[in-house]
């Protein structure tokens, strides 16, 4: 299948996407299957991503990053996910936190964190979800109480990507217990590893192997006052909702990448595999399935780049980002299932990549806010934008 359209990017950004695409073809795809089946942490690939500048894509030039458009960021994410979705996950939350610090951090926080985040010297992750809490972020129980010159942090977070390798974790927590609405009592603390901050266990997963997903425990962890994002309590919910717009574009782009990989593998296989004396794509059942798969991938990419454009224009884009994440993730689920059908028994074999795509696809449906949450966001925004 032809590579995604790059004509809307400036020449420098086209080069970035092309370099990452070539690296994925040459260095990632040949090893991803073995690394994934072994559950091995991809240290060499992560180091190469740092060298390629992937961790600094959304960070401005003034702090050592590339400062690319969100469209370029999405296309790089797509290429990484096409090779191995876990690699796209390894830079997703990091990029969201970099954006939060750049947009809402104090000058001291920007100067301290952004240059190191841009090179990947320090990697970032976000700690939102709690056991039993799911997507209801206003109901979080992790508490930050004033303690001398800082905060005492207590609580538990779960499903935290990069938890063991992150040098800074943006922790969504309650600094006000009885505020109305509850969102006004939520803040973000930039927590570094230290006493009272424990990565308690790694969570077993269907897919998304190699990169860790962990449970975190905070028990009397002390955070200095300067770790409060932006320096003002009660702003964390609004800040994180802004960051999640980029996060949802990134998850949508991951879904496009996985779906595209499944489609490309299926197109190759359908031309090589023969049945009843002809390539199987000539059988209408297979040919029509491939046509539908290609259409879904193309539509998902268009919605994703549309959401990226809205973000770059400075507009509120939770409607566009929610639509992109919803459609792209559902399309990925359908396309990977169809890829199994095209491959027949080989689609079920661990010797082919199709089964990996099929196991990775559900993450995008439930990650960064479940798709039912996206539907809630979409309908509220539709009513706001188109009142009777």
Catalytic residues: 368
What is the spatial distance between Cα 388 and Cα 114, in angstroms, rounded to a whole number? 45
182: Cβ contacts below 8 Å, ≥ 6 apart: 138, 139, 174
What is the spatial distance between Cα 129 and Cα 133, in angstroms, rounded to a whole number? 6
Largest CA distance in the chain: 79
DSSP assignments along 49-60, one per residue: HHHHTGGGTTS-
**Encoding tokens for residue 377?**
């966001």
DSSP assignments along 286-349, one per residue: HHHHHHHHHHHHHHHHHHHHHHHHHHHTT---HHHHHHHHHHHHHHHHHHHHHHHHHHGGGGG-
Closest CA to 171 of 141, 209, 212, 148: 141
DSSP assignments along 78-104, one per residue: HHHHHH-HHHHHHHHHHHHHHHHHHHH
Alpha carbon 157 to its chain's center: 18
What is the spatial distance between Cα 97 and Cα 243, in angstroms, rounded to a whole number? 7
266: Cβ contacts below 8 Å, ≥ 6 apart: 290, 293, 338, 339, 342, 343, 354
Closest CA to 137 of 90, 105, 172, 86: 172
């Amino acid at each position: 299948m032809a590579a995604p359209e790059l004509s809307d990017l400036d020449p420098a950004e086209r080069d970035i996407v092309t370099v990452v695409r070539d690296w994925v073809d040459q260095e990632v795809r040949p090893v991803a299957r073995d690394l994934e089946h072994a559950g091995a942490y991809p240290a060499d690939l992560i180091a190469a991503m740092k060298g390629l500048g992937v961790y600094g894509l959304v960070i401005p030039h003034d702090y050592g990053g590339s400062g690319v458009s969100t469209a370029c960021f999405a296309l790089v994410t797509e290429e990484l996910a096409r090779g191995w979705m876990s690699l796209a996950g390894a830079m997703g939350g990091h990029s969201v936190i970099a954006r939060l610090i750049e947009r809402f951090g104090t000058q001291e926080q920007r100067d301290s964190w952004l240059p190191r985040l841009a090179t990947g010297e320090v990697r970032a992750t976000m700690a939102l979800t709690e056991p039993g809490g799911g997507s209801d972020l206003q109901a979080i129980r992790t508490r930050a109480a004033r303690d001398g010159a800082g905060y005492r942090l207590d609580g538990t977070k779960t499903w935290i990507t990069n938890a063991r390798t992150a040098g800074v974790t943006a922790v969504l927590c309650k600094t006000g217990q009885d505020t109305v609405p509850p969102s006004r009592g939520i803040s973000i603390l930039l927590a570094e590893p230290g006493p009272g901050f424990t990565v308690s266990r790694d969570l077993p997963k269907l897919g998304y192997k190699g990169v860790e997903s962990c449970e975190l425990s905070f028990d009397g962890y002390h955070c200095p006052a300067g770790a409060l994002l932006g320096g003002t309590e009660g702003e964390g919910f609004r800040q994180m909702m802004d960051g999640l717009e980029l996060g949802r574009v990134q998850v949508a782009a991951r879904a496009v990448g996985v779906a595209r990989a499944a489609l490309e593998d299926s197109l190759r296989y359908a031309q090589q595999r023969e049945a009843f004396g002809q390539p199987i794509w000539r059988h209408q059942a297979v040919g029509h399935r491939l046509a539908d798969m290609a259409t879904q991938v193309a539509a998902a990419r268009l919605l994703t780049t549309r959401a990226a454009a809205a973000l770059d224009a400075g507009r509120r884009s939770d409607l566009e980002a929610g639509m992109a994440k919803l459609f792209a993730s559902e399309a990925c689920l359908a396309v990977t299932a169809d890829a199994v059908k095209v491959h027949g028994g080989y689609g079920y074999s661990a010797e082919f990549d199709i089964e990996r795509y099929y196991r990775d696809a559900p993450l995008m449906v439930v990650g960064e806010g479940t798709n039912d949450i996206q539907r809630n966001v979409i309908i509220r925004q539709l009513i706001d934008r188109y009142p009777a």
